[in-house]
A and B are shown apart, each in its own frame.
Chain A
């Protein structure tokens, strides 16, 4: 079945560091990928929609200059949290749409980001 690989799975770093998270579709091409964030005991909230070859679309309240998204190929999207601060600590997870009718979206295993 379709697989999405997300890396790294866990990051601990100092405040002010920039962190890059990768999301790869391993056996299918995805023109669209989605980035979600989940705070403890909260639901997953969409941060942005990543479109191959064009700019990402950000949800209201998400700073595009802080959360940089690059979708340079049909199998890879990256999210860079720039100058991360403790309030950015969260669980970040990506999903990819295989553009196939009647198929579910496929999710990565997520990245737990802890900023000290």
Chain B
């Protein structure tokens, strides 16, 4: 059974720092991996989608990498801003058209 773990559970950094969020999954036979942002009491905003054949994806200050063989992904946030404060969720899909399996998330707080 696929399990997704995110470390750390919470992170506090001053504005401007670069940071890395970690995600690991137990079954390397994934179809894709997604990173989401969730603000308190809100839904999910998709940040990056990495297909199983890809190594990384970039969007603005965000860069996500995927090492499928080791069951790991990282989300790199450059030059963090207070507006980046949110919970970041990692999720994997084992097959096309199937539900996502989520980690518990990393709650990020960026202070000004």
Does the CB pair A44–B89 fall under 8 Å?
A: yes
Is residue A49 contacting chain B, with contact meaning CB distance below 8 A? yes
**A107 an interface residue at 8 Å Cβ cutoff?**
yes
- In whole angstroms, how far apart are the Cα atoms of A103 and B51 in the complex? 9
Selected contact of B43 from candidates A49, A104, A110, CB within 8 Å: A110
CB neighbours (8 Å) of B42 from chain A are 109-110
Residue B72 CB within 8 A of the other chain: no
A99 vs B105: C-alpha distance in the bound complex, in angstroms? 26
Q: How far, in angstroms, from A105 to B34 measured CA to CA in the complex?
A: 9
> Which residues of A, 84-103, contact B by the 8 Å Cβ criterion?
91, 93, 95, 97, 99, 101-103
* Interface SS of B by simple majority: strand
Are A108 and B43 in contact, with the CB atoms below 8 A?
yes
- Is B79's beta carbon under 8 Å from chain A? no
Q: Report if A54 contacts B (CB, 8 A).
A: no
- How many residues belonging to B are interface residues under a CB distance threshold of 8 Å? 24
- Chain B nearest CB, measured from A49 CB (Å): 6
* Chain A: interface residue total (CB-CB under 8 A): 27
Asked if residues A43 and B99 are in contact (CB atoms below 8 Å), the reply is no
Task: Tell me the chain A residues, 63-116 only, with Cβ under 8 Å from chain B.
Answer: 91, 93, 95, 97, 99, 101-110, 112
Docked complex Cα distance between A4 and B1 (Å): 29
Residue from the list B44, B51, B97, B105 in contact with A93, Cβ < 8 A: B44
| A99 touching B97, Cβ below 8 Å | yes
Residues of A that sit less than 8 Å from B by CB: 6, 32, 34, 36, 41-46, 49, 91, 93, 95, 97, 99, 101-110, 112
